[in-house]
């Protein structure tokens, strides 16, 4: 499936918009689900989601295995791991271990859990990306 990058306004109104590869997914746990958009991030080690989304589907976030994750700015984010089911509409679904954090504003689909299930081709020049069921 081919997808367009989503446009985001730049924080500096004098600069051009920012385009990012976001993908619509459904996250399910215990019979409850939520639909969300996640950044497809080849530089992320694992899949991460905002804690608020996990709570929406009934997960007791703090009961999960705690893990500190550091990003490119080397700031630590406290996360809690839980298994969930993720569905990519018209493409497929899978179970994966997700790191939930109160420090996130949106979900991230990373190497562990997403890129090991799908082949992803980025075409930044055309502002398109393709996700193929591996």
Question: Into how many domains does the chain fold?
Answer: 1
pLDDT at 77: 87
Which pTM was predicted?
Answer: 0.92
The CATH number of the domain where 116 resides is what? 2.40.70.10
What lies within 8 Å, CB to CB, of 96 at 6+ separation is 47, 83, 84, 86, 112, 113, 114, 117
76-88 and 92-101 beta bridge pairing: antiparallel
Domain that holds residue 93: 2-133
pLDDT digits over 14-39, tens only? 999 999 999 999 999 999 999 999 99
């Amino acid at each position: 499936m081919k997808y367009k990058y989503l446009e985001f306004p730049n924080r500096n109104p004098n600069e051009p918009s920012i385009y990012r590869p976001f993908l619509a997914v459904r996250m399910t746990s215990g019979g409850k689900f939520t639909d969300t958009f996640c950044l497809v991030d080849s530089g992320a080690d694992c899949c991460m989601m905002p804690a608020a989304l996990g709570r929406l589907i009934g997960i007791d976030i703090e009961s999960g295995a705690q893990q500190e994750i550091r990003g490119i700015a080397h700031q630590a984010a406290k996360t809690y791991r839980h298994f969930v089911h993720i569905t990519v509409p018209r493409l497929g679904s899978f179970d994966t271990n997700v790191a939930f954090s109160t420090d996130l504003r949106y979900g991230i689909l990373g190497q562990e859990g997403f890129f090991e299930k799908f082949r992803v081709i980025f075409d930044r020049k055309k502002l398109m990306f393709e996700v193929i069921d591996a």
